[in-house]
Amino acid sequence: MSTTPLHFVPPSDFRARAKSALDDPKLRKSFRGAMDFLQTKRSAQFPDGDELEQLRDLGEAIRQHALANLPDLLVQLEAKLQAAGVQVHWAATAQEANEIILRIAQARQAKRIIKGKSMASEEIELNHYLEERGVACLESDMGEYIVQMAGEKPSHIVMPAIHKTRGEIGELFEKNIPDSPYTEDVDTLIQTGRRALRQAFVDADIGLSGVNFAAADTGTLWLVENEGNGRLSTTVPDTHIAIMGLEKVVAKLEHIVPLSNLLTRSATGQAITTYFNLISGPRRPGELDGPREVHLVLLDNGRTQAYADEQLRATLQCIRCGACMNHCPVYSRIGGHAYGTTYPGPIGAIISPHLLGLETTADLTTASTLCGACGEVCPVRIPIPQLLVRLRTEANRNPEEQVEHPLRGQGAKFSRGERLVWRFWSGAFARPAVYRLFRWAATRLRALTPSQQLGWTKYRAPLKPAPRSLADLMRERERR
């Protein structure tokens, strides 16, 4: 099975891929149906509006408290984990994280890694990196297993294979899993996948997982899942490696309970998820199971850029539920692959610029109608529309302008010509006499309006001044 990201495409090609996705009626129908289904399930989980708002208040407060104390909490978490026998590694970049995991694998002469679901490992392209160095990574989450089999990347952070039909999955299983006749029966497909993966847990040298939350006061890694693959990945192999973004830490173990409540209800419309795995260290003397060593890789990879800016820091409140995607009119029409990033949709548009820089992600910030739906459903109240506007501003800011917290790629969309046009307009609008002259000229010379007006006329009729201005019409009316 290939782990090469065959369908990986740079986010800078977003516009072309978005157009291609819009021209695909099958994909649009598939995503529209899936998003409607998820929206309905989420709404059913929050019948009491007051309870929902109270939970959102609590979730927001917990996340903001954690971010306000992030450096201290990370130090506390590291100390607690080390005291429990967990080896903690710090990775400033995706490259460093990959190198750390490779060193651990090589030290144990590991050739096979079984993975629970981890978006952080997708973020650093771990499968591809290790495959090139002789270490095979097999995804054990059913959705991830399917997209890995197809040589694709996840198109949703919670449901990676949501873009696949039952027929497409049946064809993949028939082709890649021995003795698997074609079927579209969902139960049969799931059982087939589980049987194929079962022995892989036993044969793996290392188990790797993500982390949903980490409690600094107890040194506990909290992993949420539905299929049991996370539990098997973290307990059967002798070595367990967990990887998490450094923003996932919270102050107290009890803080995770309301966050998990919001996470599962917002993500899949479940009242509660099937498994909560609480990992507090390697197997202790007398215990019958569990890994003999546990590692945690704390990943920065651009997160400290968001952390440094007081407004953009809210990006790190995210608990990765995907509710903003499910309610986004753009994501629901083009799907996740069009974005070309690990995190698609509204949350991807505000976090990817920190991970990858605005040079390649500036167009993602424009993939929003600013309708506000993403902000309204966010369980921890991330002001996504405001952050999108801020990132658009940074993308169009003069790259030479000195600011307190410059972003990587500042000024990626900066245009001196556009800047001059806006300066002229603001200057004319601020001076009544100049504005009246401009208005008089625009109405009399409207025939000279160009028929092609940059991007506007790609999809719309050209803008043309009216023959009579509103001010002129009002003046005539008053004279009557």
- At residue 457 the predicted structure's pLDDT band, cuts being 50, 70 and 90, is confident
Q: Which amino acid is at 444?
A: R
Q: What is the pLDDT of residues 136-184, one digit of tens each?
A: 999 999 999 999 999 998 999 999 999 898 999 999 999 999 989 999 9
Instruction: Report the distance separating Cα 217 and Cα 83, nearest Å.
Output: 12
Residue 4: predicted pLDDT: 42
Instruction: Report the distance separating Cα 166 and Cα 248, nearest Å.
Output: 34
H or E element that contains 143: helix 142-149
Q: 55: exposed, middle or buried (C-beta count within 10 Å: 0-12, 13-18, 19+)? A: buried
Among 21, 4, 13, CA closest to 361:
13
Q: What is the mean pLDDT of the chain?
A: 93
Instruction: Name the DSSP letter for residue 276.
Output: E
- At residue 8 the predicted structure's pLDDT band, cuts being 50, 70 and 90, is low
Among 129, 145, 135, CA closest to 112:
135
Instruction: Report the distance separating Cα 175 and Cα 182, nearest Å.
Output: 9
Strand extents, DSSP E, 147-246: 206-209, 213-215, 220-225, 239-245
Query: Which residue bears the tokens 């800047």?
Result: 419
- What pTM, to 2 d.p., does this model score? 0.89
Whether the pLDDT of residue 395 is over 50: the answer is yes
3 state SS of 207: strand
Pairing between β-strand 239-245 and β-strand 220-225 as defined by DSSP bridges: unpaired
Distance from CA of residue 458 to its chain's centroid? 30
Residue 2: predicted pLDDT: 42
Please, what's the b/e burial string for 364-378 (b: 16 or more CB within 10 A of its CB; e: otherwise)?
Answer: bbbbbeeeebbbebb
- Residue 37, number of CB atoms within 10 A of its CB: 13
Instruction: List the Cα angle 107/113/117 in 5-degree steps.
Output: 130
Among 340, 296, 348, 355, CA closest to 320:
348
Pairing between β-strand 293-299 and β-strand 239-245 as defined by DSSP bridges: parallel
Instruction: Report the distance separating Cα 266 and Cα 260, nearest Å.
Output: 10
The backbone torsions φ and ψ at residue 270, rounded to the nearest 5 degrees and listed phi first, read -95, 140
DSSP 81-136: HHHTTEEEEEESSHHHHHHHHHHHHHHTT--EEEE---HHHHHTTHHHHHHTTT-E
Sign (positive/negative) of CA torsion 73, 248, 93, 397? Answer: negative
Strand extents, DSSP E, 142-218: 206-209, 213-215
Among 33, 135, 71, 88, CA closest to 316:
71
The backbone torsions φ and ψ at residue 245, rounded to the nearest 5 degrees and listed phi first, read -65, 145
Q: What is the pLDDT of residues 180-234, one digit of tens each?
A: 999 999 999 999 999 999 999 999 999 999 999 999 999 999 999 999 999 999 9
Give the pLDDT mean for 13-21.
Answer: 91
Cα dihedral angle (164, 168, 172, 175), rounded to 10 degrees? -170
